[in-house]
Structure 1
Amino acid sequence: MPKPSREIARKHHYVPEMYLSGFVGRKGRCFGVDAKERRPFKSRPKGIAAQRDFNLIEAPGIPPDALEKELSKLESVLAPGIKRVRETASFGTDGKDREDVINLITLLAVRNPRTRNDMQRIYTEMFRAMLAAPFEDKAKWEAVVEAMKAAGKWPKDEPSDFEGYKEFVENNLDKVKAHQNFSLEMELEALETLYWYFDARKWRILKAKEDSGGFVTTDHPVCIRSPGSLNYGAQFAPGLGLSDRDVLFPLSSKVALVGRMEGGEDIVELDDKGVADFNATVMGYAIKQIYAADDQYRYTRPAGKPLGKGCTLLQDSNLKVRES
């Protein structure tokens, strides 16, 4: 068998390495906590928030990793603007850096394992319902067959036995699943629509004070919460279009963003309590992993309890697994 002309990329990041680089500490590593496996770990961005074949395409004449390659190019284009916002805690004057940040937020909100799995379940149920619908009664099936014959799509001399086709569909319906190609197409279409939801918000830049412990991120970093409240990770939060919901997005261990429908775009410094409140919601949205520059970050715990710290997070009974 001839060798492929080039190596195909199979490890695909759903949270980009360039984004995770904002949460590295010593030796360029993130300090992580895995809520499912109940263990701490240290890793370079290359080793986390990735899934085999997450962006794989199956189509004749198209390299399987074509989308992965194009997404990598896009992330490289966004990276300089993201870096400037991190370093200056400012969107600059021409709006380009703000645009780059909004594009990154949109990518992360749309393309992640939780959303992918949720949408694939919906698509699969829809496809199964469509296949089963003609067999609710014989008249429906006959109407479908006649329509296909009129369109020239029914095989010549093929019998249209209602009971036989019905039995075949019922016996094989559980094998019908939405193909990943379809999911990828839907995600790409959603990017353009959702970009404008995020762009319409007024983005407040948050700066963590030196002694605050810093911001954290997760394997699902775009979060929604009611203003002034702690969310602790409602997976099915209200829609982005509602004016009484904030979008939270950590950009680095020192800079984070809050998108609101009202108010202006400004810069606010947060002390340890403010950073801890922000972190609590972000951590609650994690699928299973939390990332930070070190283990000294803080997060708000339920009323009456002191602030939690990263170094003791695994002993906290509120740490839950929220895998999709």
Structure 2
Amino acid sequence: MSTSRHHHYLSQCYLKGFTQGSAKKSKLLVLDLKSNKKFESTPRNIGGTRDFNRVEINGIDPEIIEKTQSNFESKAATALKKLEETSDFSGETKGIILELIGMLAIKSPEMREHLAKPQAQIANHIMAMTFESKERWDFQVAQIKKDTGEDVSGGKTFEEMKALYEQGAFKISVSREHQIHVELVGMQRITELLHQRNWIVLEAGDDAGEFITADNPVSLTFHNPASFPFMSPGFGSPDTMVYFPVSKSLALIGEFRGADGVKTTNKHLVAMLNSKIIANSYQRVFASKSSFNYIAKGGAMQSGNKLV
């Protein structure tokens, strides 16, 4: 049975809304802010990495996550198309797109690394405590052997294992399976909080220009960041705004205040929201063409041609 090894964390059905022809095989412009380069590509060739969704669990299909995500993305493609055609953000369309936003908010290599670091640090602290005494070490070894049948000492003495630890011989890492589990739990919670917000559908007006997106397309910010200088916003924080570009002509803003509705945007607002996406990106910005607008430092409106 053939398996796919190139797994997308940025859904192709989402990226195609920012291509020149709004299809999976249509091209979009990629602006790499780290390498200061730009090039054209297709949704198929960006936003993915090898075995990102693969799991290695006895008795479980290694492709179960990839297949489940693929099935969901088929529904998401239909929902995105319907929203684009009608601007009606309600019912099943709303539910599916909010789930897509929840997925894109947490599934990325950068977020995995970010979430794995504190877990590895905690494990390292626990290991340091374990080597504080021979009695504690012997107890931990016996407990693990009782629970799993595995002898983690590898036949070495406490003194030998402690010396290896102090020499930095052990590398602590978080398994991909655990990272995927954390993502699935996080997606569910984020989606629940997104449902509690009121949503405005933003339509790009005539001569307003196009919305752009990035490798981190879900922007979560405080309404007044100066009031929270040492805090990061959470999806449940009341004084926050979620911004999500749906396509080059449509975007969503979710808040805990106001009411649902549809609004037409002007050139300045589109440029401001594009700036938010640029600031929120990990490395890459995506657009159908380089003539999009954004607000540069100092407040002046600039063309995307000057971004890299």
Worse-superposed segment, 214-223 or 131-140: 131-140
> Whole-Å Cα distance in 2 between the matches of residues 219 and 122 of structure 1?
23
Partner in structure 2 of residue 186 of structure 1: 182
The partner residue of 1:55 within 41, 53, 56 is 53
> Whole-Å Cα distance in 2 between the matches of residues 283 and 211 of structure 1?
21
Amino acid at match of 2:54: L
Cα separation, partners in 2 of 1:37 and 1:302, compared to 1, 3 Å: closer
User: 1:176, CA displacement in angstroms?
Assistant: 2.0
The partner residue of 1:258 within 244, 253, 256 is 253
User: 1:146, CA displacement in angstroms?
Assistant: 6.3
The partner residue of 2:83 within 82, 85, 98 is 85
Amino acid at match of 2:53: N
The partner residue of 2:263 within 245, 263, 268 is 268
User: 1:126, CA displacement in angstroms?
Assistant: 2.1
Amino acid at match of 1:224: L
The answer on whether the counterparts of 1:127 and 1:178 sit within 8 Å (CA) in structure 2 is: no
> Whole-Å Cα distance in 2 between the matches of residues 288 and 152 of structure 1?
42
Cα separation, partners in 2 of 1:159 and 1:209, compared to 1, 3 Å: closer
> Whole-Å Cα distance in 1 between the matches of residues 64 and 148 of structure 2?
35
Amino acid at match of 1:37: S
User: 1:268, CA displacement in angstroms?
Assistant: 1.5
Is residue 172 of structure 2 the alignment partner of residue 165 of structure 1?
no
Amino acid at match of 1:129: H
> Whole-Å Cα distance in 2 between the matches of residues 36 and 172 of structure 1?
32
Partner in structure 1 of residue 111 of structure 2: 115
Worse-superposed segment, 171-180 or 48-57: 171-180
Cα separation, partners in 2 of 1:133 and 1:265, compared to 1, 3 Å: same
Identity across the alignment (%): 28
User: 1:228, CA displacement in angstroms?
Assistant: 6.6
Amino acid at match of 2:130: P
The partner residue of 1:12 within 7, 21, 33 is 7
| 1:296-311 → structure 2 map (5 Å cutoff) | 296-303=291-298, 305-311=299-305
User: 1:152, CA displacement in angstroms?
Assistant: 9.4
| 1:67-216 → structure 2 map (5 Å cutoff) | 67-92=65-90, 95-144=91-140, 161-171=157-167, 174-216=170-212
Partner in structure 2 of residue 322 of structure 1: none
DSSP 3-state at the match of 2:281: coil
User: 1:151, CA displacement in angstroms?
Assistant: 6.9
DSSP 3-state at the match of 2:202: strand
| Structure 2 unaligned spans of 5+ | none
User: 1:205, CA displacement in angstroms?
Assistant: 1.0
Q: Which whole-Å deviations, capped at 9, do the CAs of 1:270-311 have from their partners, x for residues lacking one?
A: 1110011111011111111111121121011123x4201112
Cα separation, partners in 2 of 1:147 and 1:264, compared to 1, 3 Å: same
| Structure 1 unaligned spans of 5+ | 315-324
User: 1:131, CA displacement in angstroms?
Assistant: 2.3
DSSP 3-state at the match of 1:9: coil
Cα separation, partners in 2 of 1:9 and 1:147, compared to 1, 3 Å: closer
> Whole-Å Cα distance in 2 between the matches of residues 14 and 152 of structure 1?
34
User: 1:148, CA displacement in angstroms?
Assistant: 5.9
> Whole-Å Cα distance in 2 between the matches of residues 23 and 197 of structure 1?
27
Cα separation, partners in 2 of 1:68 and 1:278, compared to 1, 3 Å: same
User: 1:150, CA displacement in angstroms?
Assistant: 7.7
> Whole-Å Cα distance in 2 between the matches of residues 81 and 253 of structure 1?
16
- The aligned length equals 300
Cα separation, partners in 2 of 1:34 and 1:128, compared to 1, 3 Å: same
Worse-superposed segment, 137-146 or 95-104: 137-146
User: 1:260, CA displacement in angstroms?
Assistant: 0.4
> Whole-Å Cα distance in 2 between the matches of residues 58 and 152 of structure 1?
18
Q: TM-score scaled by structure 1?
A: 0.84
Partner in structure 1 of residue 287 of structure 2: 292
The answer on whether the counterparts of 2:164 and 2:170 sit within 8 Å (CA) in structure 1 is: no
Partner in structure 2 of residue 313 of structure 1: 307
Cα separation, partners in 2 of 1:173 and 1:119, compared to 1, 3 Å: farther
Amino acid at match of 1:48: I
The answer on whether the counterparts of 1:145 and 1:160 sit within 8 Å (CA) in structure 2 is: no
Q: TM-score scaled by structure 2?
A: 0.88
